[in-house]
Structure 1
Amino acid sequence: MSDSIQPAVQIGPAQTARSLAQGRVVGTVQVAWAAGPFRVRHATDADGNPILLCRTGGGLSQALAPRDGDDVAVVLHVEGHAGRVWISGWSHPIHDHAARAAALEFAAANPVSDLLDVGRGFELHHLDVAEVRVERCGEIVDVDLDEYIATRCP
């Protein structure tokens, strides 16, 4: 019987991005036209679109409020031991029954107590992903969106 050394499993950029975006590490959000950045608790839906949790009426909530019914340009930045991810896209508020469903999806990835107060002091915003970049070992890589969406986290 011979002992062999197994090579380390290589985690691709899409997996790194999805793992970081999942929400276990607090991120920061830069909102277009806002003074930010803002610290934010977040999770992702099944397709990797971030769900942002913020206090109703707080600075982030006000920055994310759509002007003239438009979505708001946002960049979510998360830094963890595996690297950094920047996810940019368009944010829109989640209301009514959709907010309850989003809170349950958020809780599955990142169960935080403030989710119990969604609609009563806290609110959720959905980020439609337009671009994903990952930095690992000093190298920045653009992540293919189809690969990012197809990647699932355990």
Structure 2
Amino acid sequence: MDHAKIARTLAASRIPGTARVAWSQGLFRVRHALDREGRPLLLCRTGGSLDLALAPSDVAVVLTVAGEAGRVWISGWTQALDGLSARAAALEFALANPLSDLLDVGRGFCLHRVDVAEVRLEHGCALTDVDIDDYVSAVSEPVT
């Protein structure tokens, strides 16, 4: 069983995730996608509660995505994207999860990228730490 592939497939899905942000109360529902390197991109309303919780950059966050194949937790540090990097990330996001709000990145919506520090997968009855290099190199199954 390829835990890295399952984790990457869950993370790449269009299933809405939840984000837990350091020093913030509660969970935030979040729309997300992965860039080519498997780093989650989080789409937020500019000035919304999640955007404010993630500002400034370098805030610890855990993205959780649960589906039929299990549950994946991806933890890492956030970086707010702007300018050309936000535009490039919006294009990558749209390839995986085409949302109309991506057209307003920089004008009401923003993107934060998570630099992955740890990946954990719950599959069946087992909880597994997934090697970061295996996760990055894994190819996800086609997802919707």
Return the index of the structure with the highest Cα Rg. Answer: 1
Match of 2:23 in 1: 33
Alpha-carbon contact 1:23-1:41 (below 8 Å) kept = no
**Count, aligned residues:** 141
2:113 matches 1:126? yes
8 A contact 1:83–1:137 mirrored in 2:
yes
Q: CA deviation at 1:152?
A: 1.8
Distance in 1 (CA, whole Å) between partners of 2:125 and 2:27 is 22
Which aligned segments of 4 or more residues in structure 1 are displaced greater than 6 angstroms?
none
Question: SS state of the match for residue 15, structure 1?
Answer: helix
Structure 1 residues not aligned, in runs of 5+ = 1-9
Rounded to whole Å, the distance in 1 between the matches of 2:110 and 2:3 is 30
Q: Percent identity?
A: 62
Instruction: Give the residue type in structure 2 aligned to 1:50.
Output: P
1:5-20 alignment runs, 5 A limit: 10=1, 12-20=2-10
TM-score (norm 1): 0.89
SS in 2 for 1:111: coil
Equivalent of 1:143 in 130, 133, 141: 130
Determine if contact 1:31/1:75 at 8 Å carries over to the other structure.
Answer: yes
TM-score by length of 2: 0.95
Counterpart position of 1:107: 94
Amino acid at match of 1:135: E
CA distance in 1, matches of 2:20, 2:71: 15
